[in-house]
Amino acid sequence: MPMVSKVNLARKFGLFRESWKPKIVGELNGSYVKVAKLKGEFVWHHHKKEDELFLVTKGRLTIRLRGRPDIHLRRGEFVIIPKGVEHKPVAEEEVQLVLMEPKTTVNTGNVRNVRTTQAEWI
Amino acid sequence: MPMVSKVNLARKFGLFRESWKPKIVGELNGSYVKVAKLKGEFVWHHHKKEDELFLVTKGRLTIRLRGRPDIHLRRGEFVIIPKGVEHKPVAEEEVQLVLMEPKTTVNTGNVRNVRTTQAEWI
């Protein structure tokens, strides 16, 4: 039988410090659940085929969008960025968040640069 | 361009009172994000093809499993129930939670009874 075990988000956030390095904490239906810490500005990018969910659990996150108002998220708020929509996360202070996205998703989407990273399980 | 708007979970939970009637609050990659209030015991069931995520945002939820220990979830904890795994949610006091599951998922899985319901957007 497949393993079934609970995940405590606070405990997972306690296992790492670095920003912009999402960690995998669960998988379902071909997608990963990830946790990440963000601080500073990320790169403008989009995901060609994947919708992406950002759920903030600590701090405040701004998601900039081309040609429309910024999205401001606090703890307990989420947004889904549909595939193809260019976006740029910005965190003035450290943000902790949960991500949901297909396993195929690259963090920097259509861009490859120093921020491009492959998520690992924690 | 597709709409992009944030969802405040507390506000969504304030829009309904009934237990065991999940509401859709987002969609991505063929899955829905739902919110639900639970109180009491649900039915034993499984989902033939769908993995299901339960993330507790308020209260305490027990998920009973056949032949293995119960899972106890508090706020900030989640579990993913893989397809085919029989489970029974139990909430002694009211629980608020976020669900992630494919659009095809029926709340009572392989069982059809008075608790079977079709989720609606709120």
The answer to whether position B39 is within a domain reads yes
Q: What is the dihedral of CA B110, B116, B118, B122, to 10 degrees?
A: -120
Strand-pairing partners, residue B77, are A8
Q: Is residue A73 part of a domain?
A: yes
Range of the domain at B66: 10-121
* Chain B residues lying within 8 Å of A121, measured CB to CB: none
Nearest by CB: A77 against B8, B28, B33: B8
Question: How many CB pairs (< 8 A) connect A and B?
Answer: 108
- Quote the pLDDT of residue B3: 85
Let me know if residue B2 belongs to a domain.
Answer: no
The shares of helix, strand and coil residues in chain A, as percent rounded to the nearest 5, are: 5, 50, 45
CB contact under 8 A, B78 and A7: yes
Do A80 and B31 lie within an 8 Å CB cutoff?
no
Provide the number of structural domains found in chain B: 1
Structure confidence by residue, pLDDT tens digits, A60-76:
999 999 999 999 999 99
Q: How confident is the model at residue B2 (pLDDT cuts 50, 70, 90)?
A: confident
**DSSP conformation class of A12:** H
Residue B107 located in a structural domain: yes
Indicate yes or no: CB of B101 within 8 angstroms of CB of A4: no
Interface test with B, best of A13, A80, A81, A87 (most B CBs within 10 A): A80
Higher pLDDT, residue A106 or A102: A102
Determine which of A38-47, B85-94, B103-112 has the lowest per-residue pLDDT on average.
Answer: B103-112
In the block, residue with structure tokens 């009973």: B64
Q: Contact B78/A28, CB-based, under 8 Å?
A: no
Nearest C-alpha in A relative to B31: A29
B97 lies in a domain?
yes
Domain CATH code at residue B74: 2.60.120.10
One-letter identity of residue A108:
T
Residue B3 domain-assigned (yes or no): no
pLDDT at site A2:
78
| CA separation for the pair B21, B18 (Å, rounded) | 6
Does pTM top 0.90 for this prediction? yes
pLDDT band at A106 (very low <50, low <70, confident <90, very high): confident
Residue A3 covered by a domain: no
Give the pLDDT confidence score for residue B92 in this predicted structure: 96
The shortest C-alpha distance from B22 to chain A (Å) reads 17
In a domain, A32, yes or no: yes
Calculate mean pLDDT across residues B10-21: 97
Which residues face B46 on adjacent strands?
A: none
Which residues neighbour A38 within 8 Å (Cβ) at sequence distance 6 or greater? A19, A20, A61, A89, A91, A94, A95, A97
Q: Is the pLDDT of residue B1 over 90?
A: no
Side-chain half-sphere CA neighbours of A109 within 13 A:
22
Q: What is the DSSP letter of B12?
A: H
First to last CA, chain B: 22
Query: Can you tell me the mean pLDDT for B31-36?
Result: 98
